[in-house]
Structure 1
Amino acid sequence: MSLRNAVLAALLDGAASGYDLAKAFDASVANFWTCTPQQLYRELDRMAAGGLVEARTVEQERRPTKRLFSLTDAGLRALAAFTAEPHRPTAIRDELLVAVMAAEAGDVEAVKAAIGERRRWAEAKITRYERLRTRLLDGRTEEEFLDQAERVGPYLTLLRGLSFERDNARWCARSLAVLERRGARIDAAG
């Protein structure tokens, strides 16, 4: 998937500045697609040049002038074409998993520390995603939201992000417990 398609999808919620899009990416899209603000701004410029988005300048009284980007008809057609394509699942490419696979031949304590850091990272993301979920639901039950919301795609992708991070946290906890137990056995035998 290209950054272009993620930006087009984010603009379905309406016109936004590059700064607003970067915040939106961090709050919602980051659970499945990441980019730096520089990448985002470069992509917006390419998309504007390609006619997929329209940029308009907005003067602000106490802030610098900003550009607001909105989808064009060509951008909507490109996004529709993207949604019609087949989408293969991505493979996991994670250096931590390679380190875990080789842990007993290397520095088990460093691997355990890395797993602990991953667990803290996952738990922090779960907390952030839960806050976003609460804000999206806005007092409604999940079913009420799914029946009434104008767009449910952002919510469904948020659920996937939550599931992914919860699974990460569970895997980290299990892996740490196993490595601790094995280390205790080795220490007792040594």
Structure 2
Amino acid sequence: MALRNAVLAALLEGEASGYDLAKGFDASTANFWMATPQQLYRELDRMAAEGVIETRVVQQERRPNKRLHAITPAGREALRQFIEEPAKPTAIRDEMMVKVQGMDAEDAPAVRSAVAERLEWSKAKLARYERLRVRLLDGRSEQAYLGEAERVGPYLTLLRGIAFEQENIRWAEFALSVIDRRIAVGT
């Protein structure tokens, strides 16, 4: 999947600046698509040149001018074509898993540290996702939200992100218990 498809999907929520998109990616889209701000800004320039988004400049006092981006009809069509393509299965590419795979007794403390760091990161990310879920539901039950919301895709992807981080936490806690036992006995 290209970054542009994730950007087009994000712009379905409405006009946004590159900064807003980057923040949104970090808060919600990051559970299924990661992008650095630099990648995002380069992609926005390409997308504008292709005509799938339009960009307008908002003059600001005491701040740099703001560029706001919106999806165009051509962008909606490009996203629709992407949606209609069969989705490819995902593969996990996780540097920490290579470290865990290659761990021996000597490496266990370093790997333990990496897993503990990932655990804290996953807990923090899960907390952010839960706060976003509360904001999306806005006092409604999940059933009511799913029945009333104009677009349920953002909520469904958020639920996937929540489940992903919950599993990361479960795995990390288990891995830490195994590593701690191995360190304690010196193997």
Place the TM-score, normalised by the shorter chain, in its bin.
Answer: over 0.9
Matched letter for residue 162 of structure 2: L
**Structure 1 residue ranges (4+ consecutive) displaced by more than 2 angstroms after TM superposition:** 60-64, 182-187
Matched, 1:152 2:156: no
Which residue is equivalent to 2:83? 83
The alpha-carbon deviation at position 61 of structure 1 amounts to 3.7
Q: Give the Cα separation in 1 of the matches to 2:37 and 2:186.
A: 47
- Structure 2 equivalent of residue 116 of structure 1: 116
Task: Give the residue type in structure 2 aligned to 1:30.
Answer: A
Letter in 2 for 1:10: A
CA RMSD of aligned residues (A): 1.3
Aligned to 1:26: 26
CA 1:93/1:106 → structure 2, altered by over 3 Å: closer, same or farther? Answer: farther
Q: Residue in 1 aligned with 2:74? A: 74
Q: Which amino acid aligns with 2:166?
A: R
TM-score by length of structure 1 reads: 0.94
- Please state how far the C-alpha of 1:59 moved relative to its aligned partner: 1.7
Alignment of 1:130-169 (within 5 A): 130-169=130-169
Which whole-Å CA distance do the structure 1 matches of 2:61 and 2:112 have between them? Answer: 52
| Larger-gyration structure (1/2) | 1
Compare 49-58 and 98-107 and name the one that shifted more. Answer: 98-107
- Cα separation, partners in 2 of 1:186 and 1:37, compared to 1, 3 Å: closer
Q: Matched residue of 2:150: which SS?
A: coil
Distance in 1 of aligned mates of 2:88 and 2:22? 26
> Residues 40-87 of structure 1: CA distance to partner in whole angstroms, max 9, x if unpaired?
111111101101011112122443221111111110000000000011
1:106: Cα distance to partner? 4.0
Mapped partners of 1:88, 1:23: distance in 2: 27
- Give the gaps of 5 or more residues in structure 2: none
Q: Deviations over 1:106-163 (max 9, x none)?
A: 4111111111011111001001110111111100111111111111111111111111
Number of positions where the alignment pairs a residue of Structure 1 with one of Structure 2: 187
Aligned twin of 2:129: 129
Q: Give the TM-score normalised by structure 2.
A: 0.95
Q: Could you tell me whether the CA contact under 8 Å between 2:105 and 2:183 is conserved in 1?
A: no
1:186, CA displacement in angstroms?
A: 3.7
Name the CA distance, whole Å, in 1 between partners of 2:27 and 2:186: 44
Unmatched tracts of structure 1, length 5 or more = none
- Kept in 1: contact 2:109–2:183 (CA 8 A): no
CA distance in structure 1 between the aligned counterparts of 2:105 and 2:118, rounded to whole angstroms: 21
Q: What CA distance in whole angstroms lies between the structure 1 residues aligned with 2:14 and 2:37?
A: 19
